[in-house]
Amino acid sequence: MIAKDRALGFGLGLRHVYYPEILESPQPVDWFEIISENYMVPGGRPLATLDRIRADYPMRMHGVSLSLASADPLDFDYLRALKRLIERVEPELVSDHLAWTGVHGLNLHDLLPAPLTRESLDHCVERASRVQDFLGRRIALENPSTYVAFAADEMSEADFLAELARRADCLLLLDVNNVYVSAFNHGFRARDYFDKLPKERVAQIHVAGHSDAGTHKIDTHDHPVCDDVWALFSYVRERFGPVPAMIERDDLFPPFAELLDELRHMRALAEAGERAAA
């Protein structure tokens, strides 16, 4: 078993295309993050492979189907399956999104934006609290990437998340690329968003690439991380300190060696910031 303190460092999303390299030899990755739903199955090869990798690396679990902001009742069949996987994996962190993924029992398989109103905040606080009570642990909620806003919004997304974390006593997963994408799409300053979030609540950082459509940016996770997002990552590390951080890649997968190069760049930026602050 690799030392547990590696979980404080720098990780990658565990994707099936990279299983051969990960299983073949030790990799310079401190931990892996899984998409929870990919392994919420009763058995088979995915779970067997996860068990093999988990024997050598700390794990974190990231979900995409909690649907926290939905008007539908919480799905306790889903939560029971999630809890079983948590017991199996023993992750350092369990996370999902401030979003809704469906309504009236229909899963739209997308992370849709929540209205930023006091009523919606009360709703999300109550549901996050119930989820944490059921799982017996705190979860982290990730800021979404958004492309539209509600006319009824009563507060900024950063203020909404900060209050949600305080009232539900949950944690935050700060996705730097999502803030960059949303800041471009909505015309706000990304650093102002980060400055509104409580330092003590940020438990993990995501960094990823996106697609540029000219008039708007789309959070696709299928490109290398751009220089502007790396600059924001450096600012986030300066503000929030040595929070565990990782790179997400979900499509147009490069050779594993290229992804490891990006991870080395992440480490180098973090170390440069630490030296500058010393």
Please report which residue ranges of the chain form alpha helices under DSSP H. Answer: 19-24, 45-54, 76-89, 118-135, 157-168, 176-186, 190-195, 227-240, 256-277
- pLDDT of 1 above 60: no
Give the side-chain half-sphere CA count within 13 A for 213. 10
The pLDDT confidence band at residue 276, using thresholds 50, 70 and 90, is confident
Rounded Cα gap, residues 172 and 194, in angstroms: 12
103 or 249: which leads in pLDDT: 249
- In whole numbers, what is the pLDDT of the chain averaged over residues? 94
Considering the entire predicted model, what is its pTM?
0.94
- pLDDT of 28 above 50: yes
- Contact indicator for 141, 95 with CB cutoff of 8 Å: yes
114 or 6: which leads in pLDDT: 114
Rounded Cα gap, residues 139 and 168, in angstroms: 10
**CB-count exposure of residue 20 (10 Å: 0-12, 13-18, 19+):** exposed
As a whole number, mean pLDDT of residues 171-185 equals 97
Which range among 98-107, 195-204, 206-215 shows the weakest confidence by mean pLDDT?
Answer: 98-107
Q: Would you tell me how many other CB atoms lie within 10 Å of the CB of residue 275?
A: 8
- pLDDT of 108 above 80: no
The pLDDT confidence band at residue 6, using thresholds 50, 70 and 90, is low
The pLDDT confidence band at residue 4, using thresholds 50, 70 and 90, is very low
- pLDDT of 263 above 80: yes
Cα–Cα nearest to 196, from 149, 227, 163: 163
CA distances (Å), 32 to each of 9, 53, 111, 175, 240, in order?
Answer: 11, 9, 22, 16, 21
- Enumerate the β-bridge partners of residue 178: none
Residue 76 tokens read as: 């306790």
Looking at domain 4-277, its CATH superfamily turns out to be Divalent-metal-dependent TIM barrel enzymes (3.20.20.150)
